[in-house]
Amino acid sequence: MLVAYKDASMTGFKTLPYSNEFWSLKLLYLELLLSQKEILQSLTPEEKLGLMKEAGSKYFEKINNENFSSLPEMLFSLRIMVSILDVEKYPELMAFPNKETITGFINSGWVSDKELPIGEIGKMIDNYINSKN
């Protein structure tokens, strides 16, 4: 799955010989799978860091792509990254005052009636990546 995710662009697989039909749905499905705790817990620390970086890259690619720039599509990449922080029991996330909102997002994949603190999550993600490099 990690190989497929890394090979995925905003228009389809770059080198893998899979169909790119219904591409936006396939990429979102792949992201939903990769954000599952059971899958994340099976990854090595290096694989988690690589996945975090790749999800971050895709998040920013989606911002500039009209096929993916709506909120649900953006959230799936973000969910991978914040789920890694959760699986790693990252101290900044564990101590975050509004953690229940983030936990609700991790568990459901959707934003509830409370605003998701995307800016603060982004800082945590940056700090996590910097601490691993």
Give the global pTM: 0.91
Distance, CA of 19 to chain centre:
23
Cα separation, 34 vs 81, in Å, equals 10
pLDDT digits (tens, 9 = 90+) for 80-89: 999 999 999 9
Tell me if 94 sits within 8 A of 17, measured CB to CB: no
| Predicted local confidence at residue 125, as pLDDT | 96
